[in-house]
């Protein structure tokens, strides 16, 4: 390898390292959403334990978007179900995007799992792409006054 090839290899390594760090930091951290229209759970085909979900949670809804082939989705499903169980007024529902690319495009979902936190009106207040970092969902629910 000649001298310029070494610089090219070092540069590519550095660029890859920076991209990897950015991905690791940004995945699972989420972001607040401003001015979201209400989501109709029945219209988008939300389900819970194989049954269609029509009504929102009394205080909030944790809406998980998954696919059949998502390896991390079952773990997120268990975590969100535990939050639902421990927290009054919170509902956990899921939408399978495997055959629903229209929904993925509509909601700008590029990876699964993606989790939306909906307020009592069905408006998205927060979204997380990837596996939510520990405590993040509870922290965001607390912002909605849910403990």
Encode burial over 10-20: b for 16+ CB neighbours within 10 A, e otherwise: eeeeeeeeeee
Tokens 């939510």, residue located: 132
- CATH number for the domain that contains residue 114: 3.40.30.10
Which phi-psi region, left, alpha or beta, contains residue 89 (left: φ > 0; alpha: ψ -120 to 50)? left
Task: Please give the distance of CA 89 from its chain centroid, rounded to a whole number.
Answer: 20
- Tally of domains within the chain: 1
**Of 57, 70, 141, which Cα lies nearest the Cα of 104?**
70
The answer to whether position 85 is within a domain reads yes
**Of 61, 29, 22, 63, which Cα lies nearest the Cα of 131?**
29
Can you give the residue range of the structural domain that contains 118?
29-143
- The whole-angstrom separation of Cα 100 and Cα 89 is 28
The answer to whether position 109 is within a domain reads yes
Structure tokens at 23: 């991905």
H-helix or E-strand spanning residue 60 = strand 60-66
The answer to whether position 5 is within a domain reads no
The answer to whether position 3 is within a domain reads no
Reading the chain (147 residues) residue by residue, the pLDDT tens digits are 566 777 777 778 878 877 666 665 555 557 677 778 899 999 999 999 999 999 999 999 999 999 999 999 999 999 999 999 999 899 999 999 999 999 999 999 999 999 999 999 999 999 999 999 889 999 999 998 887
Q: Do 141 and 84 contact (CB within 8 A), yes or no?
A: no
Q: Give the strand pairing for 114-119 and 60-66.
A: antiparallel
The answer to whether position 13 is within a domain reads no
The answer to whether position 10 is within a domain reads no
The answer to whether position 115 is within a domain reads yes
């Amino acid at each position: 390898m000649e001298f310029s090839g070494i610089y090219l290899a070092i540069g590519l390594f550095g660029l890859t390292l920076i991209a990897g760090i950015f991905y690791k930091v940004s995945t699972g951290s989420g972001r607040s959403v401003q001015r979201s229209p209400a989501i109709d759970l029945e219209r988008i085909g939300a389900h819970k334990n194989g049954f269609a979900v029509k009504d929102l949670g009394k205080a909030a809804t944790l809406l998980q978007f998954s696919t059949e082939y998502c390896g991390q989705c079952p773990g997120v499903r268990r975590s969100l179900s535990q939050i639902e169980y421990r927290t009054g007024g919170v509902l956990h529902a899921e939408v399978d995007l495997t055959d629903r690319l229209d929904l993925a495009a509509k909601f700008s979902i590029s990876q699964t799992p993606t989790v939306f936190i909906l307020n009592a009106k069905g408006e998205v207040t927060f979204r997380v792409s990837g596996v939510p970092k520990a405590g993040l969902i509870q922290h965001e629910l607390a912002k909605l006054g849910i403990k």
